Amino acid sequence: MNILITIFLLLLSLVSGSSTQKLYVNDGPSMSPTINNGDKMIVNLDISKGIFKDDIIIFKTEEKSFCKRVIGVEGDKIEIKESGIIVNNKLMFKSRIGDNLIKPQITIKKDEYYVIGDNVDNSYDSRFYGPINHKQIIGKVTKILHIQ
């Protein structure tokens, strides 16, 4: 059944001639339960209308592409404490933060985004590598196709 869905989506994108969408397959548990390992995602490559808080995005690093949720945009203040992730002085995500991840407050700059995985305790995200730059963003996830 999953193969049929994938084939259908690929054919649909070919027929529609859409070059602004791409099919991605999620790799790993960091976005669970929202997006599970192996789930397929339709990604809009046109990000000209902006990236906003709560968007799920695909972005690239030198090693590979990642799927994460945006929790901080320009002007937001992010702090990592023992209790979890603080955004603009509000505890937004409870998490088991080790001493090595506790970080002082930073302010997100223009064209920067702070991203985390929905599976906060099992995600390699901005807590480790800092904010990402706008140039790294491939696109926004617009549809999630869950595998059975």
Q: What is the 3-state secondary structure (H, E, C) of 14-68?
A: HHHCCCCEEEEECCCCCCCCCCCCCCEEEEECCCCCCCCCCCEEEEECCCCEEEE
**Among candidates 101, 147, 95, which has minimal Cα distance to 121?**
95
Asked if 32 is an active-site residue, the reply is no
Q: Is 68 tagged catalytic?
A: yes
- Given the residues 40, 68, 123, 126, the one annotated as active site: 68
Catalytic position from the list 13, 22, 30, 32: 30
What is the per-residue burial (b if ≥16 Cβ within 10 Å, else e) of 114-134? bbbbbbbeebebbbeeebbee
The structure tokens 């929905």 sit at 118
**Six-digit token pair at 34?**
């929202």
Active site residues: 30, 68
